[in-house]
Amino acid sequence: MNEVDLNIAQSQESVLAVNKVLKNTYLLLGMTLAFSAFTALLSFNAPALHPWMFLIGAYGFLFATHRLANSPWGLVTTFGFTGFIGFGVGPLIGFLLSSQSSSEVVMTALGGTAFIFFGLSGWVLASRKDFSFLRGFIAAGCFVLIAAIIISLIWQIPALQLAMSVAFMFFSSAVILYQTSEIIHGGERNYILATITLYVSLYNIFMSLIHLLMAFSGDD
């Protein structure tokens, strides 16, 4: 096999690998979102989890998923994480759906989240643009937002809550751009890690939209 044939073969293998990761990522993402909706439905009438319990549980599952992402157990912890998130937000969603005005907030947030995700992902897939330059911004933003979450749990400051919602929307949008770019450019070959990253971004956008819509509608 000459050098030209070898380059063509490697290029074809790369394309197949990218398509496989994309397919598995979006398939698993769809399944985890459906599972989250199911566990949320189960907890509609349950008491809300304490914020610290929710935070510790979520980060515990997230840590386990990252550690086990290269084994079949990674799928188990992925569904454990997304199911726990769904169960944790279920009481809030159930409360909002109990009234006409608040249910419109949920539907609007769902529509807005879908629009943002498909718009950003579609842009990257169509343009093939490399968003690896966002890596530094995402790393710094992650630490800043974690600190802001801890502060908000200690001091309930309405202005901080609104600022965090806006920040989470921009941060999560950047993560969607970066993660999708990493998949199509070969930087991400683990569909479990890609799925969990996109799921967290969707969750953050959805919850941020709910908080912002409730605040502007006067229900917060």
Task: Report pTM.
Answer: 0.88
Please tell me the distance from the alpha carbon of residue 169 to that of residue 140, in angstroms, as a whole number. 15
What does the pLDDT look like over 186-209, one tens digit per residue? Answer: 777 899 999 999 999 999 999 999
**CA–CA separation, 188 vs 184, rounded Å?**
8
Q: Where are the alpha helices (DSSP H) in 47-99?
A: 51-67, 73-97
39-61 residue pLDDT tens:
999 998 888 888 889 989 999 99
Q: Look-up: residue for tokens 């610290």?
A: 52
User: Are 214 and 220 within 8 A, CB to CB?
Assistant: yes
End-to-end CA distance of the chain: 67
Q: How many CB atoms lie within 10 A of CB 15?
A: 12
Report residue 134 as tokens: 């966002």
Given a cut of 70, the residues of the chain with pLDDT beneath it are: 1-15, 218-220
